[in-house]
Structure 1
Amino acid sequence: MITVPGGHVVLSDRRTERSWTVEVAPYLLATCPLTRADYAQVTGTQPDGGQDGGRLPAHSVSWWDAIRYCNALSRQEGLTPAYHLPRTADTADGGDGGDGGDGEEGHITWDRDADGYRLPTEAEWEHACRAGTTGPRYGPLDDIAWHRGNSGERIHEVGGRRPNPWGLYDMLGNVWEWCWDVYDPEVYGSYRVLRGGGWFDEHWSCRASVRRRSHPTLRIEDVGLRLARSLRP
């Protein structure tokens, strides 16, 4: 993981046509999306039931899978878990995804003082993706991302494209990444934010500002996660 410097980022919502500025404190972020090998090492299985996959991104991971993984890895490393979940939902393997339904969603809390692993917020994600750049991408798309135009319509090992100026790989393309935030509760209820674009997406979806949403229990073949940790004062 690397230390991402603090700063600010401007987020926008297309439906409401509003923009707002978010101040971001320094935090830790993984240089690559979580791999299938690392996911299996902690959980003993893969969410899609497939083989280990080595350095391929862990994909078909629901938001609840991601939350449970963060807590499981934190405990394994002797860190304080970042999330407080209902007891029935707080298992590393997550069963069939049904434990993380809407009925339990309201009970999850994030301990912002915990030193354990967590998902980045949407603001943290975009701040890290941009890495001080101001354009839609931090470099030429084919150099930095696996997308529909160059992926052969398949997932690729992490770290195979050029990193951004802060040394972060695959912030765009390969797999979408879950964020902590709810997307638009007035319209989509408990749907959570996805960022970054994936291997099957056209070039316009692989931009720093593009948002996607999904229900937190769904497992989708182009969706994974990237680990973050808070820095204590």
Structure 2
Amino acid sequence: MDASAGPEMIAVPAGQVTLSDRRTQRSWAVELDTYQLAMYPITQMLYTHVTGEHPSTALGDHLPVEGVSWWDAVQFCNALSHRKGLTPAYRQVGGQDVEWDVTADGYRLPTEAEWEHACRAGTAGPRYGPLDEIAWHRGNSAETIHEVGGKHPNLWGFHDMLGNVWEWCWDIYDAEVYGTYRVLRGGGWFDERWSCRASVRRRSHPTFRVDDVGFRIARSVVR
């Protein structure tokens, strides 16, 4: 993986995904146009190449970057967009508010609907394969993070969608109860098997940093 080349992106086909909320017992369908999503979580090598920073606890070029907040991830997206000559997706409009320019061709965080659609890759079960073959979790990780791409990808070519690190998404989790908390998806290297499922949602404050949370990036297909 060459950091200067940027992330390897995969085109995700249009489709529909159904999301659900445990608190409200509500489910809702989301229609998605085609988009691009990174094959792997953002690595430490790429993150450092773009930002000059080394936030992770465990060090390794091909380990997922961790110890990054939602804000860090948003700023990374804009920085990478600038490097590639693309229009940044995010504008900071004051305080803790960020505005997403949906017409921009730059890098951004996936919505949780986009994340789950790509994770499932056309499958309907809780996982896209046998867990030990596709994910690093507490039962097989030796309670440590692992290099990206070490487990089998899903049918669309995405690695580490489950396990290894949780991944920040664009969405607010539940504004009525949790305010500005953002959605995390995918489960991590310290999580039990139950948490490593396509539908599991976690939440945290956008300034939160911990050693099992990273992110991967998306791009809109701008017509």
Normalised TM-score (structure 2) = 0.94
- 1:13 corresponds, among 14, 18, 21, to 21
- Equivalences for 1:148-187 in 2 at 5 Å? 148-187=138-177
Moved over 3 A (4+): 48-51
Cα contact 2:56–2:65 (8 A) shared by 1: no
Quote the residue 1:105 is aligned against. Answer: 96
The 2-side partners of 1:130 and 1:42 are apart by: 30
Give, in angstroms, the shift of residue 105 of structure 1.
2.1
Report the identity percentage: 69
The 1-side partners of 2:20 and 2:193 are apart by: 20
Distance 1:75 1:170, change over 3 A: same
* AA at the equivalent of 1:25: D
Cα contact 2:126–2:198 (8 A) shared by 1: yes
Give, in angstroms, the shift of residue 49 of structure 1.
7.2
1:76 and 2:67 correspond:
no
Structure 1 gap segments, 5+ residues each: 87-102
**Which structure shows the bigger proportion of residues in strand conformation?**
2
* AA at the equivalent of 2:74: I
Give, in angstroms, the shift of residue 48 of structure 1.
3.9
The 2-side partners of 1:218 and 1:209 are apart by: 22
The CA deviation string for residues 22-46 of structure 1, in whole angstroms up to 9 with x for no partner, is 0011000000000000000011111
The 1-side partners of 2:82 and 2:53 are apart by: 18
Quote the residue 2:92 is aligned against. Answer: 85
Structure 2 gap segments, 5+ residues each: 1-8
- 1:55 corresponds, among 39, 53, 62, to 62
The 1-side partners of 2:161 and 2:52 are apart by: 26
